[in-house]
Amino acid sequence: MTMATSVVAGVDRSSRWILLGSLALNLFFIGATGALVTRHYLADRAVSTAPVDRSVAARMERLAATLPSSDAEILRSEYRANATTVDASRAAYHRAQDEVRRVLRSDPFEPEAMRAAMVKARAARQVFDQLLQDMIASAAGKMSAAGRNKLADWPPGPRSVSQTQR
């Protein structure tokens, strides 16, 4: 009987060690997977929160980078020719936005002053948009069909089904 108890106890001890080893291995793999997922998630967030240069020159450069080289140079030269006017209109738009913010912060608040500031901001935005769009239209008139197609696909990236059927 002592021999049977000893054999049973030996089997019992080794199965416990196997169970503990298996548990430790599973916890290791779960921890490693969790660390990799967290690292991947945080890396994506760090990239997406990086500041983006929103100047007209930087936007034109991002647009030009998607075009064939000859068409990209056409867009760049068109921007260089109109940069002073386009940048001045953007600055005027930003000043108008700042005025809207100033009126919002004023005490006592005056709704009519707010409406007037918003009208000026809307007009400044329209001037900026018109100058920018005229510049792009002028450049597109000098581009190849391939370059115009790339402009039509702006911004690059995946499109929904409804956007591709238009």
pLDDT of residue 107: 92
pLDDT of residue 155: 77
pLDDT of residue 5: 54
Give 156-162's long-range contacts (Cβ < 8 A, gap of 24+). 156/66
pLDDT of residue 159: 62
pLDDT of residue 4: 52
Higher pLDDT, 53 or 148: 148
**Measured CA distances, 90 to 118, 125, 138, 145 (Å):** 16, 8, 19, 30
Q: Where are the domains of the chain?
A: 1-50, 56-155
pLDDT digit string, tens, across residues 21-70? 898 989 988 989 988 888 887 776 655 566 788 889 999 999 999 999 99
Bond preceding residue 108 cis, omega within 30 of 0: yes
* pLDDT beyond 80 at 8: no
Higher pLDDT, 31 or 157: 31
Instruction: Please tell me the distance from the alpha carbon of residue 65 to that of residue 33, in angstroms, as a whole number.
Output: 37
pLDDT digit string, tens, across residues 80-135? 999 999 999 999 999 999 999 999 999 999 999 999 999 999 999 999 999 999 99
* pLDDT beyond 80 at 6: no
